[in-house]
Structure 1
Amino acid sequence: MSSFRDKLPLALKCAIEEVPPTEVGQSETEQPKPKRRKVTKRVVHDVRPAETLADQEKQRQTSSSTVEELEEIMHGSRPRRGAAKVALKLLHDWAKDTLVNPSNDMSSLQGSWGGHSSPIAVEQKSPKCGRARVKGIKRKHPGFEGRKSYEDEDFVLGGIGEDEEETEELESDLESAVDSIAELRRNKSIQYQGRKYGTSPNGLPNNMMQPCSESTKCNKTFREKHQSSWVFPEWIPSVNDWKTVPQSDLEEYLPQEMQSATFKISREGLSKETPLQKLNRFEAMDKHPECWDTLMFTGGPVWAMEWCPSPDGSSDNQYIALACHQGMDDQHYANEKYTGTGLIQLWDLGKLEYDSSPTSQRPYLVCGLAQDKGFIWQLKWCPAGAWEQPTCPRKLPCLPRLGLLAAATSTGIVTIYSIPHPQALLASKTPVDSEDSQVQPIFTVNGVITLKLGSFGAPHNKINRQVLSMDWSATKDHDIMALGFYDGLVGLWNLSSTSSFLRICEPDQSLALLPYRCFQAHDSCIRALVFCPAASDLLATAGDDRMVKVWDLTRPYDCITAHKRHLTTEVFWPLNAPGLFLSQENSYTRNDQHGIYYLDLGYHEIKPAFMVPRMATMWSMSFNDWLNSLVTSDTLGEVIFELLPKIDGKIQYTKGIAQRRFPVYFTDMVPYGANTSNETEGAEEMEGGGEGEGSPAVESERVDGQGGAVPLKPQTYREAVGQYYLHYRDSDIRTFKKFHERAPWKRMRSTEVNTKIDLDIMPMAALHKVRFNPNMSSHTWLVSGGQAGLVRVHCLRSMYREDTKTMFMKCKKQFAGLYHPDNRSQATEDLTENPDQH
């Protein structure tokens, strides 16, 4: 009997053997404990709420009824049979409570008897003696009056009884009951452990991954309710508007750098690293067969980059729109206007799934958009409703629309382009013969609308200011845009406006739109602004006056809140958070206060939470509403991934914030001539917090005419690529198991506080933009690029979760049913009857 009796809780053993819990394991020779001195207790009035008192009274009634029920079981039956029945009933009740609220044995029993262990296991002091008595069993019954449970051997299972068959039957019943309950508890414990406790398949604790699932559901619900399925039906691209740039004029629009800097890639966990190599302009590397990452060269420093959004459930090709300066050493002032030519590049990355390798072997520049409005500071796609399927039944000259892209240029205007699907555009065009096989199709097209400052009676062309930031409202009907200018002015445009005072026809027959409202938000240029994702009436702005302000656009004469922080470079407003994420420069701050802050807007007494500490300037960050995660890029060329906790007013009290940060990759500027051993030593020094090869403080010297040593620090891109090459060190982000014991994580922790930055060296490794993919099918992919013009694409494969797979598969089926051939034929008939409708 010891095989199954050991599995029982103490209370059940006492019920079966009729032994008081206080005497289990007590020898017969032990003396009883002396009686306690009687203490008069003071009456305390119960001041609990009425609901709590009612619950306690209900629990007492339940306990009393249970005791009476047990008494009926014990009355009129054999002592051993009665005790066994009581034990079996307690086992079943215990199993029921365990499945409802898994916990330890005693706590489960406590939950089932209204705050007591059980009607059998409650120890009470007898008013006549110091011996503990068992409630319910000690009561006298006609069948066994005057008998003491601890003196009757007939109650002890396994002893000598009158009927051995009855004993064996009871033992088998109890043993099977205990085994079945243990199996049920084990299954329930595993299921409960998968939700909250234990470790997820990627190596992180489940309680750390739990906010990701909640964020995914929240984002999915929001997109279904508050994002439009189709907007601006009059802005359909036409093949007649897209004209191919002649070969003779092509170089005027293209970036000037023909070849990239020398680089190599080493990946954690893989001994083989790529050799030193270069890429030609608009060339890309093949995807890595195991890590799936890739790299492409754009020809100039990247300052604007965005993923093209697509509907939930779509598995079509993913596109990236980016823009770079033409010269590697171009510098500009915010208070001046710059004219000239530029190029918007559209890269096709193939089909990207969140848990599978890309279908395309390498990315490629599918087409370029040439424009003559100056260089581009920022790009923004319409958040939703602008994408349609490539096989959409449109008749020429109309083309299926990929999206609406807004470009903020240095001439102080924002132009919105209607971008067609590249395959449909290229299929409708005759290939242009070219001697250079590297040249891709480059087109010119007028925007569907241009956003300008001014009024109907004012010469707006003379008062345009340089646009440094912009955002597109994320809620229906996505028709509000906000622009931030260099002098602190914020302008608001309603893209759906039909007012003749706001819509102006330009001499070249293009359409211009004037703002319906402007207000002075800051004393200096506005570096970043963002709409609240759940309400287009709320806007957050950050300026060079070190102020972060939140505005109610229905009353913009005064801000709602104003916080004086540091010099902010970018702002993100998460969907499921009452606050803002701010990325900051390393000026106006202490050495230990650089990085990413979370500024809570609902609790003014709470200080901003310091999320990602870095020593260098944080140029960019991106928030992923699917994963409740953040990714950052800085001047040192480091991309850091942060898995955030549940974002609320207590985020600054979350423990283990440092354990939630993981490096994606590092960028080192390595001087030519450094051998492999030196590189290894430098990496080890960097992990320990010293200066290694990754520190840009490495100098070379020359001897001047007077015999003195003069350091040679590269000031231009040409000098930098002549002395250094880039070494990309990737972390193994396929799993997070034992990540905090691995070298990349230790290096990240050391560079957070000990990195030395030499501002006299050309920051060739700096990363200016990093972006998470906003689409459901490929939400684990991210892209980053910067000063060297090299753009890298990575997949956070370890963030794939089984609990969201069902949701994604359901969306795919819904999307496939929406675009079934039968539905497409019906759509063709509707399009013929009403061409302005989708």
Structure 2
Amino acid sequence: MRCSSSRGGIWECISYIYIIFIYTKNIGKSIFPVESDIQRSTKKFSRVIYQGLIFTPLRHTIINQMERVICGVCKKEMDQSKWKYHKYKSHNNLAWREGDQPLNLKDDGVVRQILNQLYKSRKPFHCEICKQQKKSVLGYLSHKSICQRLEIEVKNVKVSCTICHRKVLPVSMNSHMKIHDKPDKTDEIKLICFETNNTELDIKRPRRAATQALQMIHILGGESNIRSIFRDCLFNFRQAIKYQLDMCNEDEDKLFEFHEANRKRLRQKTKELLINKKTINNKPLFLIHPLKELKLIYMQAYDWMMSFCLEYYAQTMLFPNFRNVQPWLIVNFNVLNNYLPSVQESCDIRIVLKTTAKSKKSEEEEEEEEEKKKYFKLGLFEVHNTYSDQSTIFCGGPITSLAWLPTAYDRTDQTQILALATLNVPDQQYLVGKTYKTSALIQFYNCGLLNDFESACYPFLLFGLALNVGPIWHLEWCPSGCFSESRLGLLAIAASDSFVYIYCIDNYNNNNDRGLIYFGQPVVKLELESGEEKSYFATRISWSKAKGHRYLAVGYSNGVIALFDLELISSNLLHKTSCNTHVFLPLKTFQAHLSSITGLNLGHYDQGNRWLYSSSLDRSFAYWDLFTMTKVTSSRKYGIAEALWPIQWPTCITVEEETTFNDKISARTNIKSIRDILSPDSNWLCMTSSPSGIKTISFSDWLNLALYGGNSGELTGIFAHELFNVSKKQFKNSYTRCIFSVARLVNKKKSNQMDNYQDASENFALLFEDFPSDNISTIPNSKTNNLKTVKIDKYTISDYPMRAVNKIALNQNRQSHSYYAVGYQMGFVRIGNLKFIKGNFNQTIFSFNTDYFYFTDARF
């Protein structure tokens, strides 16, 4: 069969191929076409598909759908069927296949023509770097020119307009110049309203009211005096000005300032002049919620926190009397095992770094990954560094508290130390109506300098503190003013014998003595009431961050809250023991709740002894005014596991540990303001939810970041913006939710029995799936809508919480605010670093001196 070069011959050839394909499918029928069938097929035919082949009559070529093609831009190999999707999704149609004629991407006209064709098809544009979507061609080109750049670099890229001297991006200059090319509207009105004696011109005349208005404006413009329009009124504008000048005192400065203010106002944009000033003055600036947040991190939080440190944190030494009279003693080897955790070896674990994009790796890298995929165990106090910004420590038992040592905010040469407490016996149960005096151990780990975005984390056990008042439920450092060459700080310990002890932690940062266990006497002892028989113990401690840090609040297992003053000199509330320990009685006590206190925070407002919030196992939550001993506001929610009060916001963040058996209802993280009347729209604002109970939460005042975890083993962060006086819709549009790590269970022996710690350790293994923290695009987040790709296994309430996250502690020090520590039920503590913050946070340059320090911000 021969096909001519004319279009009709080709169509006739295609028709025969198509008809033969159709008729061969029907066995027993004639394979010879009928003339009417040929005519119908040639009219309706667009292309012929047979066994993966496409014959396109317009191109006169045959394309194989199964063959492999290579992208000429990214050199990625794929099937022919996936080329069209890859070309749009990855390159916005600005790509070609190898073998085809390449596109001249340097030609702005060619690029705009291709993008305009894509815009007409109503498809969004995707940024190749940050995966953001743009709806217009100009918006895409403008974003691409400034993507992943700092604000200083963006300012340097912008060019100035020669007419109005406004700085715009080079891509937007053509569109900006069109604004100046538009004719003035006033000239158009004058042109239309121009009167002519030529009545033959068929011009549409303006309305009568417009003509009279123009005449009045013309009359008033030529006069220097304005009179009243009423006949009997004798008002004269010139005389009124003369009278005002005669009666007014001469003040040239005020007249000059008023004149300049008017000139500045006239130079403003038209849109700004249309804003009603009354609506702006009704709210302070920090309460006006922007329509769109451009940054991941709320930049104002860093400036606020730096101002807070300058005002409240001490540069001089506080509590000089709280010193160790005698040095600590090393625990005897014969009794050392009594203080060590009973579990000496961890369960099987495996750490995997999840990547979202597939990349070609060398044989050595693949061998290293295969080695990391193997399961392994950790010994007691052993540290495993999978990669430079992630460390895993086995501490021997369920983590009950984590606390970073506060360091001076104006120094970067101080090491970061993490203090933690565990349960020595994992399956031991403790009742809230009793006191306990079991052996316990507080572990101190040296993590190095940990300067943000630079230092790697390689922690090691610095020393341990042995106690006979365990277990320990909470650790709290003095916020500032306690660090020196010989003293690291003051550490408050919530013990199980009804007391709160404050220890002076000396500096044992000696390489020769690392890893030793000491026994020492406390320098302060806080006692709720005098007497021997007691049926309660301390569960929460809050050390005031107000200037001087003299007040300390303690919550107990019986629902009582006590306020202590560490600078008391009254003999009725203070005495010393034979060991030179200061014993304080409370300044105030009150019955706040019916059950154990789970959340407690003493606000720094009004000298740090007035405002307090508390939460309890009785499902109640309350703000307290300690001056009047009254509740400011209270409410009841689900079981509140933990709550915190950010320094910069008059709100509290709570997490719910309890969930229902209904799959549609999840545990939530809520925001509660201090007074409902101040923010009626955010009475209880839900930040996010979790498929299982949330056990712990931590907040970074430098980053405005809330990090929480629960029984499912996920580590989730929320980068929030305004937390006060914001509606639910505005809050959801401003915050970004990220998942940094997920812990999963792996059944080793195909046995579902996990009733206690030992069964879980023998039958199951833990798999830690971490996401690379170098870039936000590699972390599942709500901005890129890839959170659904991370599967989180739901926790079963009848099983042992093997993968549960017990405690989280974000580093509150300025030089290390991107680091965090996570404590698990199985005794692991993992220290990580959020490296991607460097690309989303404007770098602040700090300069230090011996006498003073100053900082300059690149944003200003």
- TM class by shorter-chain length? 0.5 to 0.7
- Secondary structure of 1:612's counterpart equals strand
> Structure 2 CA distance, aligned partners of 1:512 and 1:796?
42
Change (3 A) 1:651 1:750: farther
Deviations 1:753-776, CA, capped at 9 Å, x for gaps: xx5332222111111001110001
Give the drift of 1:716: 1.4
Which consecutive residues of structure 2, in runs of 5 or more, have no partner in the other structure?
1-108, 110-159, 196-202, 215-290, 356-364, 855-860
The answer for the alignment partner of 1:563 in structure 2 is 635
Structure 1 residues 693-772: aligned runs within 5 Å: 700=751, 712-737=752-777, 739=779, 746=786, 755-772=793-810
Answer yes or no: is the 8 Å Cα contact 1:483–1:490 preserved in 2: yes
Answer yes or no: is the 8 Å Cα contact 1:300–1:326 preserved in 2: yes
Amino acid at match of 1:130: K
Give the drift of 1:125: 3.2
Answer yes or no: is the 8 Å Cα contact 1:313–1:815 preserved in 2: no
Deviations 1:102-138, CA, capped at 9 Å, x for gaps: 997489769xx9xx957657676315443899xx9xx
TM-score between the two structures when normalised by the length of structure 2:
0.63
User: Does structure 1 residue 442 correspond to structure 2 residue 539?
Assistant: no
The answer for the alignment partner of 1:330 in structure 2 is 428
> Structure 1 CA distance, aligned partners of 2:179 and 2:619?
56
Change (3 A) 1:744 1:345: farther
The answer for the alignment partner of 1:615 in structure 2 is 691
Change (3 A) 1:482 1:741: closer
The answer for the alignment partner of 1:275 in structure 2 is 374
The answer for the alignment partner of 1:690 in structure 2 is none
The answer for the alignment partner of 2:402 in structure 1 is 305
Structure 1 residues 817-832: aligned runs within 5 Å: none
Amino acid at match of 1:721: S
Answer yes or no: is the 8 Å Cα contact 1:263–1:277 preserved in 2: yes
Structure 1 residues 143-158: aligned runs within 5 Å: none
> Structure 1 CA distance, aligned partners of 2:422 and 2:718?
27
Deviations 1:294-334, CA, capped at 9 Å, x for gaps: 11111111111111110113222110000101012122112
User: Does structure 1 residue 577 correspond to structure 2 residue 649?
Assistant: yes
Q: CA-atom RMSD, angstroms?
A: 3.6
> Structure 2 CA distance, aligned partners of 1:718 and 1:803?
44
The answer for the alignment partner of 1:598 in structure 2 is 671
> Structure 2 CA distance, aligned partners of 1:470 and 1:233?
18
> Structure 2 CA distance, aligned partners of 1:91 and 1:347?
57
User: Does structure 1 residue 366 correspond to structure 2 residue 433?
Assistant: no
> Structure 1 CA distance, aligned partners of 2:853 and 2:775?
36
The answer for the alignment partner of 1:394 in structure 2 is none
> Structure 2 CA distance, aligned partners of 1:281 and 1:743?
40
User: Does structure 1 residue 793 correspond to structure 2 residue 851?
Assistant: no
Answer yes or no: is the 8 Å Cα contact 2:539–2:555 preserved in 1: yes
- RCO comparison, higher one (Cα < 8 Å, 6+): 1
Deviations 1:532-578, CA, capped at 9 Å, x for gaps: 2444221000112211100111111x211112222111111112222
The answer for the alignment partner of 2:502 in structure 1 is 416
Change (3 A) 1:287 1:383: farther
The answer for the alignment partner of 1:125 in structure 2 is 192
The answer for the alignment partner of 1:549 in structure 2 is 622
Change (3 A) 1:268 1:816: farther
Change (3 A) 1:131 1:106: farther
User: Does structure 1 residue 776 correspond to structure 2 residue 814?
Assistant: yes
Change (3 A) 1:106 1:586: farther
Give the drift of 1:231: 4.6
Answer yes or no: is the 8 Å Cα contact 2:773–2:834 preserved in 1: yes
Amino acid at match of 2:568: S
TM-score between the two structures when normalised by the length of structure 1:
0.65
Answer yes or no: is the 8 Å Cα contact 1:566–1:588 preserved in 2: no
> Structure 2 CA distance, aligned partners of 1:215 and 1:596?
21
- Secondary structure of 2:469's counterpart equals coil
> Structure 2 CA distance, aligned partners of 1:302 and 1:794?
17
Amino acid at match of 2:475: L
> Structure 2 CA distance, aligned partners of 1:265 and 1:497?
51
> Structure 2 CA distance, aligned partners of 1:741 and 1:224?
34
Number of equivalenced pairs: 587
Structure 1 residues 185-584: aligned runs within 5 Å: 207-209=293-295, 212-235=298-321, 237-238=323-324, 240-269=326-355, 272=369, 273-286=372-385, 288-289=387-388, 292-315=389-412, 316-358=414-456, 362-388=458-484, 390=485, 400-423=486-509, 440-454=515-529, 459-463=530-534, 465-506=536-577, 508-535=579-606, 536=608, 537-556=610-629, 558-584=630-656
Give the drift of 1:729: 0.2
Change (3 A) 1:385 1:508: closer
Structure 1 residues 8-47: aligned runs within 5 Å: none
> Structure 2 CA distance, aligned partners of 1:123 and 1:600?
57
> Structure 2 CA distance, aligned partners of 1:377 and 1:744?
39
> Structure 2 CA distance, aligned partners of 1:816 and 1:304?
36
Deviations 1:66-122, CA, capped at 9 Å, x for gaps: xxxxxxxxxxxxxxxxxxxxxxxx9755235979xx997489769xx9xx9576576
Answer yes or no: is the 8 Å Cα contact 1:336–1:466 preserved in 2: yes
Higher mean C-alpha deviation, range 500-509 or range 582-591: 582-591
Answer yes or no: is the 8 Å Cα contact 1:378–1:470 preserved in 2: yes
- Secondary structure of 1:475's counterpart equals coil
> Structure 2 CA distance, aligned partners of 1:743 and 1:525?
39
- Secondary structure of 1:461's counterpart equals coil
> Structure 1 CA distance, aligned partners of 2:329 and 2:178?
75
- Secondary structure of 2:843's counterpart equals helix
> Structure 2 CA distance, aligned partners of 1:353 and 1:561?
41
Give the drift of 1:387: 1.5
Give the drift of 1:666: 0.4
Change (3 A) 1:648 1:122: farther
Change (3 A) 1:818 1:127: closer
Answer yes or no: is the 8 Å Cα contact 1:211–1:646 preserved in 2: no
Change (3 A) 1:314 1:668: same
Give the drift of 1:465: 2.0
Give the drift of 1:237: 4.2
Which consecutive residues of structure 1, in runs of 5 or more, have no partner in the other structure?
1-5, 7-89, 137-204, 391-399, 432-438, 674-698, 701-711, 820-838
> Structure 1 CA distance, aligned partners of 2:718 and 2:642?
17
- Secondary structure of 1:722's counterpart equals helix
Answer yes or no: is the 8 Å Cα contact 2:305–2:701 preserved in 1: yes
Give the drift of 1:474: 0.6
Give the drift of 1:802: 7.6
- Secondary structure of 1:276's counterpart equals coil
Change (3 A) 1:784 1:124: farther
Deviations 1:378-402, CA, capped at 9 Å, x for gaps: 00000111122x3xxxxxxxxx111
Higher mean C-alpha deviation, range 733-742 or range 712-721: 733-742
> Structure 2 CA distance, aligned partners of 1:341 and 1:739?
42
> Structure 1 CA distance, aligned partners of 2:442 and 2:495?
11
- Secondary structure of 1:737's counterpart equals helix
Amino acid at match of 1:320: L
- Secondary structure of 1:497's counterpart equals coil
Give the drift of 1:513: 0.8
Answer yes or no: is the 8 Å Cα contact 2:403–2:419 preserved in 1: yes
The answer for the alignment partner of 1:661 in structure 2 is 737
Change (3 A) 1:727 1:123: farther
